[in-house]
Structure 1
Amino acid sequence: MNWDDLRIIAAVRDEGTYAGASARLRIDETTVGRRLARIQRDLGVPLFEAADGLRRPTRHCEAVLEHVGAMAAHVAAIDLLRESQPGPVGRLRIASTSSVAEELLAPRAAKFLGDNPGLTLQFLTSSENVKFSRWQADLAIRLRKPEKGDFTISKLAEVRLYFFEPVEAADTASIVCAYPDELDAIPEQQFLRARRLKAARCVTDNVRIIRTMISSHQAIGVLPEHNCGSLLADRSLRATLLPKRRDVWLLVQNHLKRDPATRLTIAWVRHCFKDVPHG
C-alpha cells in the first residue's frame, strides 16, 4: 500500500462520495472506486458503508485513518523541514574515479555543502562505469565519452597529461607504469606504446600508485595534470607535456536536468574543473 492509496481513503471519508474524492484528488471517479475496491480487497475488511447517498467510514476505516492522520502530520513536518532550508534541497549521487573525487571534488566539497545546507552529496568512486540505465547515479564524471545512452552529456575539460622519467639514468632500467589492457585506447597508453614502453612491470588503473612509483625516481609513467602534485617541481624528474589531452565528460540523468538541486550541483562540478583547460 502506498501513500496515494491512503490519500484516497481519507478523501472519500472527508467528501463522503467518490465524486467528491475525485474532484479533491483530481483523478477520475472510476479510478477512485476501482482503487478503493482493491484497497478493501487487500486489507480484507470493509472501509465504507453506503447510507443516504454517502459513504460512511466503518470502524476498520476509522482505525486506518488514525494512522493516515499520523502519516500526514509527518509528511507536513517533512515539507516544513524542506521549506526551512535556504536554497535547493536534495541528495545527489556523483560517480567518478577515485582520483577525480579526491583531487578535484573533495577539496571543494566542504565549502559547497556549507553554503548549501539542504544538499547532500554521495560520492561513488570506482574505476568501473556506473550503469545509468539502472539509475545507479544521478551525475557521472567520465574520462571516456560514452557512445550512447539516455542521458545528457557535455564536456567538462581537456586534461593535460605529463610523462615523467628520472633525470639521471639509473644503473637499471626504470620500471614502466602503465594502465590495464582494457584502457589501451586512452592517450596515456597510446603515448607509451609510441615510445615502445608498453612492456610494463607495474600495471594499475590507480593513478595514486603510479604517482607513488614515479616519486621513487625509479619508475616512469604518465599522469593527468591534476594528479601530478609536487612531481612537476621535483628537479630529479623530467616532465614532458604530451601533445594529446584527455577529455572529461559530465553525464546527467535526463529527468534531473531542470531540478534546482541538480543544476546547482552541476554548476559546482564545473567550478571544480574551472582550472582544468578546456578545448
Structure 2
Amino acid sequence: MDWDDLRIFLTVAREESLSGAGKRLGIDASTVGRRVARLEGALGAKLFVKTPQGYALAPEGERLLPHAELAESALSGAREALSGPGDLTGQLRIGAPDGCANYLLPQICAKLCENHPGLEIQIVALPRVFNLSRREADMAIAVSQPQAGRLVVQRLTDYQLHLAGHDDYLKSHPPITSRDDLRGHRMIGYIPDMIFDRELDYLTETGMDWAQLTSNSVSVQTQAVRAGAGLGIVHDFAIPFCPGVRRILTDQISLRRSFWLIRHADDRRSQRMNRLAEALALGIRQEVARLQALLAVESPSQVHT
C-alpha cells in the first residue's frame, strides 16, 4: 500500500470532494480520482460513495480512516524525531471565532512567526464551530467546551465583555443610568437564527430581546458600535482597537466567557503540535490579560455607569 495514496484518501475524506482534495494537495481532480481508484483496486474495497453533496466514506472507508490517520501521525512523529527540538516549521492552520481571530491572533501569530521563521500560519476566521475530524484546521479555538468527538480540549483563559457605545452616540442620545434606560436606544447584536453557540447569546443577559442592527460576525457588531450605530456587547480585549468606544453600566452588565483550545486526539503524539499548542495557549493568555489591563486605567469619566 502506497503512503501517498493513503494521503490522498485522507484528503478526500476530509474535503468530501475530488476538486477540494485536489486544491488542498496541489493536483488536479482527475489525478485524485485515479489515485483513489488505484487504492481501491489494491485493497479490493470501495472506499467512497458518490452523493449529490460530494464523496462520502463507504463502510470500508470508515474502517480504513483511523488506520490512515495513525499512519499520518506516525510519519509526522518520525520527521520530528529526526529534525529534533529546534525551530518550529511547516504549516499551522488555526480556526477561531472572528472576535479572537481579529483582535488576538494577529499579534500572537506575528510573534510566533518572528520566533520561528520556518513556520507558516493560516488563520481561518469563521462564525461557526470547526470540524477537526475533517481537518478544517489543525487546532481550533472555541467559546464553549465540546462534549463529543475524539478531541483534546484545554481551557485557555477567561475574558470579559460589557455593553458599550461610542462617545458620539452617547452624547447625542438620552443618558443611560440603568437597564430600563436601554429601551430607548438602538441595540446591536447577533442575527438570532445564526447564533451558532449559546455562549454568544449576549443580549439576552442584558434583558433585551431585540436588536435593530444585527450581524453573524462579532467584529462587524463591534465596528457598528464604533461607527455610532447603537449599543452592543463588546469584548473588553477589542475596545483598545476602537477609539471612542466606552463601556457602560459596568456595575450592572458584565459577562464572562472562556476560550478553549481544541485539537484532534491523535495529535497528542506529536511533539510539534504539543509545542505549537503550548505557544498558542500562552500567547492568548498573555494577550487577553494585556488588552484587558489597558481598560483598568480608564478614568471614571470614561466609563459610563
TM-score, length-scaled by structure 1: 0.61
Distance apart, 1:169 and its partner CA: 5.3
Match of 1:189 among 195, 201, 208: 201
Amino acid at match of 1:189: D
- 1:138-177 counterparts in 2 under 5 A? 138-165=138-165, 166-168=169-171, 170=173, 173-177=184-188
Aligned length: 203
Distance 1:164 1:250, change over 3 A: same
- Residue by residue, what CA displacement relative to the aligned partner does 1:113-167 show, whole Å, maximum 9, x if unpaired? 2322333222222112121222222200011222211101011111100101454
Contact map agreement 2:139 2:261 (CA 8 A) in 1: yes
Amino acid at match of 2:92: L
Work out whether 1:116 is the aligned partner of 2:116: yes
- 1:29-178 counterparts in 2 under 5 A? 83=83, 86-165=86-165, 166-168=169-171, 170=173, 173-178=184-189
Match of 1:239 in 2: 248
Percent of aligned positions that are identical = 20
- Residue by residue, what CA displacement relative to the aligned partner does 1:190-222 show, whole Å, maximum 9, x if unpaired? 5x3354422211111222222222223340000
Distance 1:141 1:3, change over 3 A: closer
Amino acid at match of 2:248: A
Match of 2:20 in 1: none
Distance 1:260 1:119, change over 3 A: farther
Moved more, 93-102 or 82-91: 82-91
Contact map agreement 2:188 2:230 (CA 8 A) in 1: yes
Distance 1:85 1:273, change over 3 A: closer
Distance 2:3 2:281 in 1: 38
Match of 2:226 among 201, 215, 223: 215
Contact map agreement 2:144 2:199 (CA 8 A) in 1: no
Which ranges of structure 1 fall in alignment gaps of 5 or more residues? 6-37, 43-78
Contact map agreement 1:188 1:222 (CA 8 A) in 2: no
Amino acid at match of 1:146: P
Match of 2:259 among 231, 240, 248: 248
Distance 1:137 1:105, change over 3 A: same
Distance 1:194 1:123, change over 3 A: closer
Contact map agreement 2:143 2:199 (CA 8 A) in 1: no
Distance 1:108 1:237, change over 3 A: closer
TM-score, length-scaled by structure 2: 0.56
Which ranges of structure 2 fall in alignment gaps of 5 or more residues? 6-37, 43-78, 175-182, 290-305
Contact map agreement 2:108 2:280 (CA 8 A) in 1: no
Match of 1:266 among 265, 274, 277: 277
Amino acid at match of 1:193: T
Contact map agreement 1:90 1:261 (CA 8 A) in 2: no
Contact map agreement 2:127 2:196 (CA 8 A) in 1: no
Distance 1:92 1:199 in 2: 39
Contact map agreement 2:98 2:219 (CA 8 A) in 1: no
Q: CA RMSD in A?
A: 3.4
Distance 1:170 1:163 in 2: 15
